[in-house]
Chains A and B, each alone.
Chain A
Protein backbone atom coordinates (compact mmCIF):
# COMPACT_ATOMS: atom_id res chain seq x y z
CA UNK A 1 0.00 0.00 0.00
CA UNK A 2 1.07 3.55 -0.63
CA UNK A 3 2.90 5.32 2.15
CA UNK A 4 1.25 8.71 2.66
CA UNK A 5 3.22 10.13 5.52
CA UNK A 6 6.68 9.21 6.62
CA UNK A 7 8.47 10.63 9.64
CA UNK A 8 12.10 9.57 10.13
CA UNK A 9 14.09 10.11 13.34
CA UNK A 10 12.28 13.28 14.28
CA UNK A 11 13.43 15.42 17.22
CA UNK A 12 11.66 18.52 18.46
CA UNK A 13 12.27 20.87 21.40
CA UNK A 14 10.32 23.74 22.88
CA UNK A 15 13.26 25.90 23.88
CA UNK A 16 15.64 23.79 25.97
CA UNK A 17 13.01 21.12 26.66
CA UNK A 18 13.06 18.22 24.25
CA UNK A 19 9.50 16.97 23.75
CA UNK A 20 9.93 14.58 20.87
CA UNK A 21 12.96 12.36 20.51
CA UNK A 22 13.87 10.09 17.61
CA UNK A 23 10.33 9.31 16.50
CA UNK A 24 9.97 7.29 13.33
CA UNK A 25 6.59 6.32 11.97
CA UNK A 26 4.78 5.96 8.70
CA UNK A 27 1.17 6.00 7.62
CA UNK A 28 -0.22 3.92 4.81
CA UNK A 29 -3.28 4.54 2.71
CA UNK A 30 -6.44 3.12 4.28
CA UNK A 31 -4.90 2.74 7.71
CA UNK A 32 -6.11 4.09 11.07
CA UNK A 33 -3.26 4.69 13.51
CA UNK A 34 -3.96 5.46 17.16
CA UNK A 35 -1.36 7.61 18.88
CA UNK A 36 -1.50 6.73 22.57
CA UNK A 37 0.44 7.56 25.70
CA UNK A 38 0.04 9.34 29.04
CA UNK A 39 -0.41 13.11 29.37
CA UNK A 40 2.73 14.98 28.39
CA UNK A 41 4.06 12.10 26.29
CA UNK A 42 4.34 14.36 23.23
CA UNK A 43 1.34 13.04 21.29
CA UNK A 44 -0.02 16.45 20.30
CA UNK A 45 3.47 17.65 19.37
CA UNK A 46 3.98 14.62 17.12
CA UNK A 47 0.62 15.29 15.47
CA UNK A 48 1.51 18.96 14.92
CA UNK A 49 4.83 17.90 13.41
CA UNK A 50 2.98 15.57 11.05
CA UNK A 51 0.57 18.39 10.21
CA UNK A 52 3.46 20.69 9.31
CA UNK A 53 2.54 23.14 12.08
CA UNK A 54 5.91 22.55 13.71
CA UNK A 55 9.20 22.01 11.93
CA UNK A 56 11.40 19.19 13.30
CA UNK A 57 14.79 20.17 14.71
CA UNK A 58 16.28 16.94 13.44
CA UNK A 59 14.93 14.37 11.01
CA UNK A 60 12.44 14.83 8.26
CA UNK A 61 8.78 14.28 7.51
CA UNK A 62 7.80 13.28 4.01
CA UNK A 63 4.31 13.71 2.54
CA UNK A 64 3.09 12.18 -0.67
CA UNK A 65 1.49 15.18 -2.33
CA UNK A 66 1.55 18.84 -1.36
CA UNK A 67 0.33 20.51 1.80
CA UNK A 68 -2.19 21.90 2.59
CA UNK A 69 -4.30 19.90 0.15
CA UNK A 70 -3.05 16.48 1.23
CA UNK A 71 -3.14 16.84 4.99
CA UNK A 72 -6.15 17.90 7.04
CA UNK A 73 -5.80 18.58 10.75
CA UNK A 74 -8.38 18.74 13.50
CA UNK A 75 -7.13 20.60 16.57
CA UNK A 76 -7.94 19.43 20.08
CA UNK A 77 -10.58 22.10 20.51
CA UNK A 78 -11.41 23.59 17.15
CA UNK A 79 -12.90 27.01 17.69
CA UNK A 80 -16.03 27.69 15.70
CA UNK A 81 -17.59 31.14 15.30
CA UNK A 82 -21.11 30.77 16.69
CA UNK A 83 -22.80 33.12 14.21
CA UNK A 84 -21.73 31.15 11.14
CA UNK A 85 -23.80 28.46 9.50
CA UNK A 86 -22.50 24.91 9.32
CA UNK A 87 -22.09 25.16 5.54
CA UNK A 88 -19.97 28.30 5.89
CA UNK A 89 -17.58 26.52 8.24
CA UNK A 90 -17.30 23.50 5.95
CA UNK A 91 -16.68 25.76 2.94
CA UNK A 92 -13.41 26.92 4.55
CA UNK A 93 -12.10 23.43 3.83
CA UNK A 94 -11.97 24.46 0.17
CA UNK A 95 -9.51 27.27 0.91
CA UNK A 96 -6.44 25.30 -0.24
CA UNK A 97 -8.11 24.94 -3.65
CA UNK A 98 -9.76 28.32 -4.22
CA UNK A 99 -7.21 30.53 -2.47
CA UNK A 100 -8.00 33.80 -0.76
CA UNK A 101 -9.83 35.53 -3.58
CA UNK A 102 -11.70 33.16 -5.86
CA UNK A 103 -15.29 32.19 -5.07
CA UNK A 104 -16.32 28.57 -4.68
CA UNK A 105 -17.11 26.96 -8.02
CA UNK A 106 -20.11 24.58 -8.42
CA UNK A 107 -17.55 21.76 -8.25
CA UNK A 108 -16.46 22.99 -4.79
CA UNK A 109 -20.08 23.26 -3.66
CA UNK A 110 -20.58 19.61 -4.61
CA UNK A 111 -17.55 18.56 -2.59
CA UNK A 112 -18.77 20.60 0.39
CA UNK A 113 -22.17 18.91 0.20
CA UNK A 114 -20.56 15.50 -0.10
CA UNK A 115 -18.29 16.17 2.90
CA UNK A 116 -21.29 17.24 4.98
CA UNK A 117 -23.10 14.05 4.06
CA UNK A 118 -20.16 11.84 4.95
CA UNK A 119 -19.75 13.56 8.32
CA UNK A 120 -23.54 13.33 8.81
CA UNK A 121 -24.17 17.07 9.09
CA UNK A 122 -25.98 17.56 5.78
CA UNK A 123 -29.29 18.22 7.52
CA UNK A 124 -27.64 20.81 9.74
CA UNK A 125 -26.18 22.74 6.79
CA UNK A 126 -28.12 25.95 7.43
CA UNK A 127 -28.06 25.82 11.22
CA UNK A 128 -25.96 28.34 13.11
CA UNK A 129 -22.97 26.76 14.81
CA UNK A 130 -23.94 28.35 18.11
CA UNK A 131 -27.09 26.20 18.25
CA UNK A 132 -25.28 22.86 17.91
CA UNK A 133 -24.37 20.31 20.57
CA UNK A 134 -20.78 19.29 21.25
CA UNK A 135 -21.13 16.11 19.20
CA UNK A 136 -22.60 18.01 16.26
CA UNK A 137 -19.80 20.57 16.37
CA UNK A 138 -17.25 17.79 16.28
CA UNK A 139 -18.88 16.41 13.14
CA UNK A 140 -18.87 19.89 11.60
CA UNK A 141 -15.11 20.23 12.09
CA UNK A 142 -14.71 16.75 10.62
CA UNK A 143 -16.79 17.81 7.60
CA UNK A 144 -14.58 20.87 7.22
CA UNK A 145 -11.53 18.60 7.15
CA UNK A 146 -13.17 16.21 4.65
CA UNK A 147 -14.01 19.13 2.35
CA UNK A 148 -10.26 19.57 2.06
CA UNK A 149 -10.25 16.20 0.20
CA UNK A 150 -7.26 15.11 2.23
CA UNK A 151 -5.32 11.90 1.81
CA UNK A 152 -4.19 12.17 5.42
CA UNK A 153 -6.50 13.01 8.32
CA UNK A 154 -4.86 14.04 11.60
CA UNK A 155 -7.11 14.26 14.66
CA UNK A 156 -6.16 15.40 18.15
CA UNK A 157 -8.33 13.60 20.71
CA UNK A 158 -11.42 13.61 18.50
CA UNK A 159 -13.46 11.71 21.07
CA UNK A 160 -12.60 13.93 24.05
CA UNK A 161 -15.99 15.60 24.49
CA UNK A 162 -18.18 12.97 22.90
CA UNK A 163 -20.61 10.59 24.55
CA UNK A 164 -20.53 6.90 23.69
CA UNK A 165 -22.85 7.02 20.72
CA UNK A 166 -21.01 9.92 19.12
CA UNK A 167 -17.70 8.12 19.65
CA UNK A 168 -19.05 5.10 17.81
CA UNK A 169 -20.39 7.38 15.05
CA UNK A 170 -17.08 9.16 14.68
CA UNK A 171 -15.16 5.93 14.50
CA UNK A 172 -17.46 4.54 11.82
CA UNK A 173 -16.99 7.73 9.78
CA UNK A 174 -13.21 7.38 10.12
CA UNK A 175 -13.51 3.74 9.01
CA UNK A 176 -15.50 4.80 5.96
CA UNK A 177 -12.84 7.38 5.08
CA UNK A 178 -10.10 4.80 5.53
CA UNK A 179 -12.01 2.51 3.17
CA UNK A 180 -11.76 5.29 0.58
CA UNK A 181 -7.99 5.22 0.95
CA UNK A 182 -7.49 8.01 3.47
CA UNK A 183 -4.83 7.46 6.12
CA UNK A 184 -5.87 8.49 9.64
CA UNK A 185 -3.72 9.34 12.65
CA UNK A 186 -5.70 10.06 15.81
CA UNK A 187 -4.44 10.92 19.28
CA UNK A 188 -6.57 8.81 21.62
CA UNK A 189 -6.93 8.64 25.35
CA UNK A 190 -9.61 5.99 25.21
CA UNK A 191 -7.59 2.80 24.86
CA UNK A 192 -10.70 0.77 24.15
CA UNK A 193 -11.16 2.79 20.98
CA UNK A 194 -7.46 2.62 20.24
CA UNK A 195 -7.88 -1.15 20.25
CA UNK A 196 -10.11 -0.82 17.18
CA UNK A 197 -7.44 0.97 15.16
CA UNK A 198 -5.28 -0.85 12.64
CA UNK A 199 -2.11 0.10 14.46
CA UNK A 200 -1.17 1.68 17.77
CA UNK A 201 1.82 3.87 18.45
CA UNK A 202 2.75 4.20 22.12
CA UNK A 203 4.64 7.33 23.17
CA UNK A 204 6.16 8.17 26.53
CA UNK A 205 8.45 11.09 27.34
CA UNK A 206 8.60 11.97 23.67
CA UNK A 207 9.97 8.60 22.65
CA UNK A 208 8.39 5.76 20.75
CA UNK A 209 7.91 2.88 23.18
CA UNK A 210 6.02 0.44 21.02
CA UNK A 211 4.22 0.25 17.73
CA UNK A 212 2.34 -2.38 15.87
CA UNK A 213 -1.02 -4.06 15.85
CA UNK A 214 -3.26 -3.13 18.82
CA UNK A 215 -2.86 -6.61 20.27
CA UNK A 216 0.91 -6.21 20.33
CA UNK A 217 0.93 -2.75 21.89
CA UNK A 218 -2.01 -2.87 24.28
CA UNK A 219 -0.37 -5.25 26.74
CA UNK A 220 -0.58 -4.73 30.49
CA UNK A 221 3.14 -5.36 30.94
CA UNK A 222 3.89 -2.60 28.42
CA UNK A 223 1.21 -0.09 29.42
CA UNK A 224 1.16 -0.38 33.21
CA UNK A 225 4.66 1.04 33.85
CA UNK A 226 4.13 3.83 31.30
CA UNK A 227 0.71 4.90 32.57
CA UNK A 228 1.93 4.26 36.15
CA UNK A 229 -1.22 2.41 37.01
CA UNK A 230 -2.34 -1.20 37.02
CA UNK A 231 -4.17 -2.18 33.90
CA UNK A 232 -5.91 -5.24 32.68
CA UNK A 233 -7.13 -6.28 29.28
CA UNK A 234 -10.51 -7.91 29.21
CA UNK A 235 -11.90 -9.65 26.21
CA UNK A 236 -15.55 -8.77 25.78
CA UNK A 237 -17.94 -11.54 24.70
CA UNK A 238 -17.90 -10.27 21.07
CA UNK A 239 -14.11 -10.55 20.92
CA UNK A 240 -13.31 -6.88 21.38
CA UNK A 241 -10.63 -5.79 23.79
CA UNK A 242 -11.47 -3.57 26.75
CA UNK A 243 -8.74 -1.86 28.72
CA UNK A 244 -9.62 -1.54 32.38
CA UNK A 245 -7.54 0.46 34.84
CA UNK A 246 -6.85 -1.00 38.26
CA UNK A 247 -8.40 -4.32 37.26
CA UNK A 248 -5.63 -6.51 38.56
CA UNK A 249 -6.92 -5.99 42.07
CA UNK A 250 -10.56 -5.96 41.29
CA UNK A 251 -12.20 -8.13 38.71
CA UNK A 252 -14.64 -6.79 36.23
CA UNK A 253 -18.24 -6.85 37.43
CA UNK A 254 -19.58 -9.13 34.73
CA UNK A 255 -17.08 -11.92 35.52
CA UNK A 256 -18.15 -11.72 39.14
CA UNK A 257 -21.79 -12.03 38.13
CA UNK A 258 -21.06 -15.05 36.03
CA UNK A 259 -19.37 -16.75 38.97
CA UNK A 260 -22.21 -16.06 41.35
CA UNK A 261 -24.75 -17.59 39.01
Chain B
Protein backbone atom coordinates (compact mmCIF):
# COMPACT_ATOMS: atom_id res chain seq x y z
CA UNK B 1 0.00 0.00 0.00
CA UNK B 2 1.29 3.43 -0.89
CA UNK B 3 1.91 6.01 1.75
CA UNK B 4 -1.17 8.12 2.29
CA UNK B 5 0.45 10.95 4.17
CA UNK B 6 -1.11 14.29 3.59
CA UNK B 7 1.41 16.96 2.83
CA UNK B 8 0.23 20.24 4.22
CA UNK B 9 2.00 23.48 4.99
CA UNK B 10 3.44 23.20 8.47
CA UNK B 11 2.35 26.16 10.60
CA UNK B 12 4.84 25.78 13.40
CA UNK B 13 7.72 23.43 14.01
CA UNK B 14 8.40 22.96 17.69
CA UNK B 15 11.72 21.22 17.19
CA UNK B 16 13.93 20.34 20.15
CA UNK B 17 11.10 20.82 22.57
CA UNK B 18 12.99 19.40 25.51
CA UNK B 19 15.71 21.99 24.98
CA UNK B 20 13.04 24.64 24.74
CA UNK B 21 11.50 23.58 28.04
CA UNK B 22 14.92 23.77 29.68
CA UNK B 23 15.56 27.14 28.05
CA UNK B 24 12.25 28.43 29.41
CA UNK B 25 13.23 27.35 32.92
CA UNK B 26 16.73 28.84 32.77
CA UNK B 27 15.44 32.06 31.18
CA UNK B 28 12.66 32.49 33.74
CA UNK B 29 15.16 31.83 36.53
CA UNK B 30 17.46 34.58 35.31
CA UNK B 31 14.56 37.00 34.88
CA UNK B 32 13.34 36.20 38.39
CA UNK B 33 16.78 36.86 39.89
CA UNK B 34 16.96 40.24 38.14
CA UNK B 35 13.43 41.15 39.19
CA UNK B 36 14.17 40.24 42.82
CA UNK B 37 17.18 42.56 42.99
CA UNK B 38 15.33 45.31 41.14
CA UNK B 39 12.35 45.02 43.44
CA UNK B 40 14.52 45.09 46.57
CA UNK B 41 16.14 48.29 45.32
CA UNK B 42 12.85 50.10 44.84
CA UNK B 43 10.16 51.15 47.27
CA UNK B 44 9.09 54.07 49.39
CA UNK B 45 12.77 54.93 49.67
CA UNK B 46 14.91 54.08 46.65
CA UNK B 47 18.15 52.27 47.37
CA UNK B 48 20.88 52.18 44.75
CA UNK B 49 21.53 48.93 42.97
CA UNK B 50 25.08 48.87 44.36
CA UNK B 51 23.91 49.19 47.93
CA UNK B 52 21.27 46.54 47.35
CA UNK B 53 23.77 44.07 45.93
CA UNK B 54 26.22 44.89 48.70
CA UNK B 55 23.57 44.27 51.34
CA UNK B 56 22.68 41.00 49.62
CA UNK B 57 26.25 39.71 49.52
CA UNK B 58 27.04 40.77 53.12
CA UNK B 59 23.75 39.39 54.40
CA UNK B 60 24.15 36.12 52.57
CA UNK B 61 27.62 35.71 54.13
CA UNK B 62 26.08 36.08 57.58
CA UNK B 63 27.32 39.60 58.27
CA UNK B 64 23.85 41.17 58.37
CA UNK B 65 24.50 42.72 61.79
CA UNK B 66 27.27 44.84 60.28
CA UNK B 67 24.91 46.46 57.78
CA UNK B 68 23.84 50.03 58.41
CA UNK B 69 21.31 52.54 57.08
CA UNK B 70 19.68 51.76 53.77
CA UNK B 71 21.63 48.53 53.44
CA UNK B 72 20.12 47.30 56.71
CA UNK B 73 16.71 48.25 55.36
CA UNK B 74 17.39 46.35 52.16
CA UNK B 75 18.49 43.21 54.01
CA UNK B 76 16.10 43.23 56.96
CA UNK B 77 12.92 44.52 55.34
CA UNK B 78 13.08 44.44 51.57
CA UNK B 79 14.72 41.07 50.89
CA UNK B 80 12.51 38.98 53.19
CA UNK B 81 9.48 40.67 51.70
CA UNK B 82 10.58 40.21 48.10
CA UNK B 83 11.69 36.62 48.67
CA UNK B 84 8.41 35.87 50.42
CA UNK B 85 6.61 37.24 47.37
CA UNK B 86 8.76 34.99 45.19
CA UNK B 87 8.09 31.93 47.35
CA UNK B 88 4.35 32.55 47.49
CA UNK B 89 4.24 33.21 43.74
CA UNK B 90 6.14 29.97 43.13
CA UNK B 91 3.71 28.02 45.32
CA UNK B 92 0.67 29.50 43.58
CA UNK B 93 2.14 29.14 40.08
CA UNK B 94 3.11 25.48 40.42
CA UNK B 95 -0.06 24.55 42.33
CA UNK B 96 -2.12 26.24 39.64
CA UNK B 97 -0.30 24.34 36.89
CA UNK B 98 -0.78 21.04 38.74
CA UNK B 99 -4.48 21.66 39.41
CA UNK B 100 -5.09 22.60 35.77
CA UNK B 101 -3.31 19.40 34.76
CA UNK B 102 -5.17 17.25 37.27
CA UNK B 103 -8.62 18.55 36.34
CA UNK B 104 -7.67 18.96 32.69
CA UNK B 105 -9.37 22.30 32.94
CA UNK B 106 -7.62 25.57 32.10
CA UNK B 107 -9.80 27.43 34.59
CA UNK B 108 -8.63 25.42 37.59
CA UNK B 109 -6.61 27.33 40.15
CA UNK B 110 -4.93 26.57 43.50
CA UNK B 111 -8.00 27.69 45.45
CA UNK B 112 -10.34 25.23 43.74
CA UNK B 113 -10.76 22.84 46.65
CA UNK B 114 -11.46 25.48 49.28
CA UNK B 115 -7.91 26.26 50.47
CA UNK B 116 -8.46 30.01 50.32
CA UNK B 117 -11.84 30.12 52.00
CA UNK B 118 -10.67 27.71 54.69
CA UNK B 119 -7.60 29.82 55.33
CA UNK B 120 -9.70 33.00 55.39
CA UNK B 121 -12.03 31.53 58.00
CA UNK B 122 -9.04 30.43 60.09
CA UNK B 123 -7.43 33.85 59.84
CA UNK B 124 -10.69 35.59 60.73
CA UNK B 125 -11.02 33.41 63.80
CA UNK B 126 -7.42 34.17 64.75
CA UNK B 127 -8.00 37.90 64.38
CA UNK B 128 -11.19 37.69 66.42
CA UNK B 129 -9.56 35.65 69.18
CA UNK B 130 -6.30 37.54 69.40
CA UNK B 131 -7.95 40.94 69.53
CA UNK B 132 -4.95 42.39 67.72
CA UNK B 133 -5.47 45.06 65.17
CA UNK B 134 -3.46 45.13 62.03
CA UNK B 135 -3.03 48.49 60.32
CA UNK B 136 -5.15 48.02 57.23
CA UNK B 137 -2.54 48.91 54.67
CA UNK B 138 0.87 49.71 56.03
CA UNK B 139 1.78 53.28 55.29
CA UNK B 140 5.38 52.44 54.60
CA UNK B 141 7.33 49.24 54.43
CA UNK B 142 9.31 50.35 57.49
CA UNK B 143 6.36 49.88 59.79
CA UNK B 144 6.15 46.25 60.61
CA UNK B 145 2.59 45.36 61.49
CA UNK B 146 1.86 43.58 64.73
CA UNK B 147 0.88 40.51 62.82
CA UNK B 148 -0.85 38.12 65.18
CA UNK B 149 1.24 34.96 65.33
CA UNK B 150 -1.91 32.88 65.49
CA UNK B 151 -2.88 33.74 61.93
CA UNK B 152 -0.53 31.37 60.05
CA UNK B 153 -1.43 28.49 62.35
CA UNK B 154 -5.18 29.07 62.18
CA UNK B 155 -5.26 29.67 58.48
CA UNK B 156 -3.25 26.56 57.64
CA UNK B 157 -5.53 24.47 59.85
CA UNK B 158 -8.50 26.11 58.11
CA UNK B 159 -7.03 25.39 54.67
CA UNK B 160 -6.33 21.76 55.51
CA UNK B 161 -9.80 21.36 57.05
CA UNK B 162 -11.47 22.80 53.97
CA UNK B 163 -9.59 20.47 51.57
CA UNK B 164 -10.32 17.40 53.72
CA UNK B 165 -14.01 18.37 53.89
CA UNK B 166 -14.12 18.81 50.13
CA UNK B 167 -12.51 15.40 49.59
CA UNK B 168 -14.89 13.68 52.01
CA UNK B 169 -17.94 15.30 50.42
CA UNK B 170 -16.73 14.32 46.94
CA UNK B 171 -16.24 10.74 48.07
CA UNK B 172 -19.78 10.64 49.42
CA UNK B 173 -21.09 12.01 46.14
CA UNK B 174 -21.42 10.60 42.66
CA UNK B 175 -18.92 8.27 40.99
CA UNK B 176 -17.40 10.74 38.59
CA UNK B 177 -14.76 11.98 40.96
CA UNK B 178 -13.52 15.00 39.02
CA UNK B 179 -16.83 16.79 38.72
CA UNK B 180 -17.92 15.85 42.24
CA UNK B 181 -14.61 17.24 43.54
CA UNK B 182 -15.22 20.51 41.70
CA UNK B 183 -18.78 20.77 42.97
CA UNK B 184 -17.80 19.91 46.54
CA UNK B 185 -15.08 22.56 46.34
CA UNK B 186 -17.66 25.15 45.30
CA UNK B 187 -20.02 24.16 48.13
CA UNK B 188 -17.33 24.13 50.81
CA UNK B 189 -15.96 27.45 49.54
CA UNK B 190 -19.42 29.04 49.61
CA UNK B 191 -20.24 27.86 53.12
CA UNK B 192 -16.88 28.98 54.49
CA UNK B 193 -17.12 32.40 52.85
CA UNK B 194 -20.52 32.99 54.42
CA UNK B 195 -19.20 31.89 57.84
CA UNK B 196 -16.25 34.25 57.42
CA UNK B 197 -18.52 37.11 56.41
CA UNK B 198 -20.71 36.49 59.44
CA UNK B 199 -17.72 36.52 61.77
CA UNK B 200 -16.42 39.69 60.17
CA UNK B 201 -19.73 41.48 60.55
CA UNK B 202 -20.02 40.35 64.19
CA UNK B 203 -16.65 41.84 64.82
CA UNK B 204 -16.65 45.04 62.82
CA UNK B 205 -13.64 46.36 64.74
CA UNK B 206 -11.39 43.84 63.12
CA UNK B 207 -13.03 44.02 59.73
CA UNK B 208 -10.26 46.13 58.25
CA UNK B 209 -7.55 43.87 59.52
CA UNK B 210 -9.14 40.73 58.14
CA UNK B 211 -10.04 42.42 54.92
CA UNK B 212 -6.52 43.66 54.41
CA UNK B 213 -5.18 40.18 55.14
CA UNK B 214 -7.59 38.61 52.69
CA UNK B 215 -6.29 40.85 49.90
CA UNK B 216 -2.76 39.71 50.47
CA UNK B 217 -0.27 41.23 52.84
CA UNK B 218 3.44 40.93 52.30
CA UNK B 219 4.41 43.98 54.36
CA UNK B 220 5.05 42.09 57.57
CA UNK B 221 7.10 39.26 56.08
CA UNK B 222 10.26 38.58 58.02
CA UNK B 223 13.20 36.22 57.60
CA UNK B 224 11.67 33.99 60.25
CA UNK B 225 8.30 33.86 58.41
CA UNK B 226 10.23 32.87 55.32
CA UNK B 227 12.02 30.15 57.28
CA UNK B 228 8.70 28.82 58.57
CA UNK B 229 7.00 28.81 55.18
CA UNK B 230 9.89 27.36 53.17
CA UNK B 231 9.76 23.71 54.33
CA UNK B 232 6.04 23.39 53.60
CA UNK B 233 6.29 25.20 50.30
CA UNK B 234 9.30 23.16 49.19
CA UNK B 235 7.83 19.80 50.16
CA UNK B 236 4.52 20.69 48.49
CA UNK B 237 6.23 21.69 45.26
CA UNK B 238 8.56 18.69 45.43
CA UNK B 239 5.58 16.37 45.76
CA UNK B 240 3.97 17.98 42.71
CA UNK B 241 7.13 17.56 40.68
CA UNK B 242 7.26 13.86 41.54
CA UNK B 243 3.92 13.45 39.76
CA UNK B 244 4.81 15.54 36.72
CA UNK B 245 4.96 12.73 34.18
CA UNK B 246 1.85 11.13 35.63
CA UNK B 247 0.08 14.44 34.97
CA UNK B 248 1.37 14.31 31.39
CA UNK B 249 -0.14 10.87 30.88
CA UNK B 250 -3.40 12.04 32.43
CA UNK B 251 -3.77 14.57 29.61
CA UNK B 252 -4.63 11.63 27.31
CA UNK B 253 -7.59 10.74 29.52
CA UNK B 254 -7.93 8.75 32.71
CA UNK B 255 -8.40 5.36 31.03
CA UNK B 256 -5.39 5.79 28.77
CA UNK B 257 -3.26 6.93 31.70
CA UNK B 258 -4.23 3.79 33.60
CA UNK B 259 -3.38 1.53 30.67
CA UNK B 260 0.14 2.97 30.46
CA UNK B 261 0.61 2.13 34.11
CA UNK B 262 -0.26 5.35 35.96
CA UNK B 263 -2.02 4.82 39.29
CA UNK B 264 -4.58 7.55 38.89
CA UNK B 265 -5.84 7.39 42.49
CA UNK B 266 -2.35 7.84 43.89
CA UNK B 267 -1.65 10.57 41.37
CA UNK B 268 -4.79 12.47 42.35
CA UNK B 269 -4.08 12.13 46.08
CA UNK B 270 -0.47 13.19 45.64
CA UNK B 271 -1.24 16.22 43.49
CA UNK B 272 -4.04 17.41 45.79
CA UNK B 273 -1.79 16.96 48.83
CA UNK B 274 1.15 18.74 47.20
CA UNK B 275 -0.91 21.62 45.83
CA UNK B 276 -2.80 22.07 49.10
CA UNK B 277 0.41 22.03 51.12
CA UNK B 278 2.12 24.61 48.92
CA UNK B 279 -0.98 26.81 48.64
CA UNK B 280 -1.72 26.63 52.37
CA UNK B 281 1.89 27.61 53.14
CA UNK B 282 1.48 30.62 50.87
CA UNK B 283 -1.95 31.67 52.10
CA UNK B 284 -1.14 31.19 55.78
CA UNK B 285 1.65 33.76 55.73
CA UNK B 286 0.50 36.37 53.25
CA UNK B 287 -3.24 35.92 52.72
CA UNK B 288 -5.16 35.34 49.55
CA UNK B 289 -3.60 36.47 46.30
CA UNK B 290 -5.67 35.99 43.20
CA UNK B 291 -4.87 35.27 39.57
CA UNK B 292 -1.20 34.31 39.94
CA UNK B 293 -2.07 30.60 40.06
CA UNK B 294 -4.27 30.98 37.01
CA UNK B 295 -2.16 33.25 34.83
CA UNK B 296 1.38 31.92 35.39
CA UNK B 297 0.73 28.37 34.06
CA UNK B 298 -1.13 29.74 31.04
CA UNK B 299 1.68 32.11 30.16
CA UNK B 300 4.31 29.38 30.58
CA UNK B 301 2.38 26.89 28.48
CA UNK B 302 2.34 29.45 25.69
CA UNK B 303 6.02 30.23 26.01
CA UNK B 304 6.85 26.61 25.33
CA UNK B 305 6.63 24.37 28.34
CA UNK B 306 3.45 22.33 27.89
CA UNK B 307 4.87 19.28 29.72
CA UNK B 308 4.54 19.16 33.42
CA UNK B 309 8.20 18.38 34.03
CA UNK B 310 8.98 21.73 32.44
CA UNK B 311 5.64 23.42 33.16
CA UNK B 312 5.71 22.96 36.95
CA UNK B 313 9.13 24.57 37.54
CA UNK B 314 8.49 27.17 34.83
CA UNK B 315 5.14 28.10 36.39
CA UNK B 316 6.80 28.35 39.79
CA UNK B 317 9.40 30.76 38.39
CA UNK B 318 6.78 32.66 36.38
CA UNK B 319 4.43 32.93 39.35
CA UNK B 320 7.31 34.16 41.50
CA UNK B 321 8.26 36.81 38.93
CA UNK B 322 4.65 37.95 38.60
CA UNK B 323 4.14 38.33 42.31
CA UNK B 324 7.46 40.08 42.92
CA UNK B 325 6.54 42.57 40.18
CA UNK B 326 3.01 42.98 41.54
CA UNK B 327 4.43 43.65 45.00
CA UNK B 328 6.84 46.19 43.53
CA UNK B 329 3.87 47.89 41.90
CA UNK B 330 1.88 47.77 45.13
CA UNK B 331 4.72 49.47 47.01
CA UNK B 332 5.55 52.14 44.47
CA UNK B 333 2.42 53.22 42.57
CA UNK B 334 0.98 55.38 45.35
CA UNK B 335 4.14 55.67 47.44
CA UNK B 336 4.73 56.18 50.27
CA UNK B 337 1.39 54.42 50.86
CA UNK B 338 0.77 50.90 49.60
CA UNK B 339 -1.87 49.08 47.61
CA UNK B 340 -2.88 45.60 48.72
CA UNK B 341 -0.92 43.21 46.50
CA UNK B 342 -4.01 41.08 45.80
CA UNK B 343 -5.65 44.11 44.21
CA UNK B 344 -2.62 44.64 41.97
CA UNK B 345 -2.43 41.00 40.85
CA UNK B 346 -6.12 41.00 39.99
CA UNK B 347 -6.02 44.38 38.22
CA UNK B 348 -3.03 43.33 36.13
CA UNK B 349 -3.79 39.62 35.97
CA UNK B 350 -7.34 39.97 34.70
CA UNK B 351 -6.60 41.96 31.54
CA UNK B 352 -3.39 39.97 30.94
CA UNK B 353 -5.34 36.73 31.10
CA UNK B 354 -7.92 38.06 28.65
CA UNK B 355 -5.13 39.12 26.32
CA UNK B 356 -3.60 35.64 26.48
CA UNK B 357 -6.96 34.08 25.66
CA UNK B 358 -7.65 36.43 22.78
CA UNK B 359 -4.24 35.79 21.28
CA UNK B 360 -5.27 32.19 20.76
CA UNK B 361 -2.95 29.20 20.79
Contact = CB atoms under 8 A, between A and B. Distances in A.
Interface stretch (A33-41, A85-93, A209-217): A85-93
Contacts of A101: 242, 245
B351 interface: no
A136 B8 CA distance: 12
Nearest to B304: A83
21 contacts: A51-B259, A52-B258, A53-B258, A78-B252, A79-B252, A79-B253, A82-B361, A88-B306, A92-B249, A93-B260, A95-B249, A95-B260, A95-B261, A96-B261, A100-B245, A101-B245, A128-B11, A128-B12, A133-B6, A141-B252, A172-B1
B14 A128 contact: yes
Interface of B: 1, 3-7, 10-15, 17, 104, 242-246, 248-249, 251-253, 255-256, 258-262, 301, 306-307, 361
A128 B20 CA distance: 15
A9 B269 CA distance: 34
A84 B260 contact: no
Contacts of A74: 256
A73 B252 contact: no
B242 A83 contact: no
A53 B265 CA distance: 13
| A52, A71, A84, A101: residue with the most chain B Cβ atoms closer than 10 Å | A84
Interface in A141-187: 141, 144, 148, 165, 169, 172
Interface of A: 48, 51-53, 67-68, 71-75, 78-85, 88-89, 92-93, 95-96, 100-101, 120, 123-124, 126-128, 130-131, 133, 136, 141, 144, 148, 165, 169, 172
Contact of A78 (B7, B17, B256, B307): B256
Contacts of B11: 128, 131
A85 B5 contact: no
Nearest to A48: B255
| B11, B248, B361: residue with the most chain A Cβ atoms closer than 10 Å | B248
Contacts of B104: 79
Contact of B253 (A78, A96, A127): A78
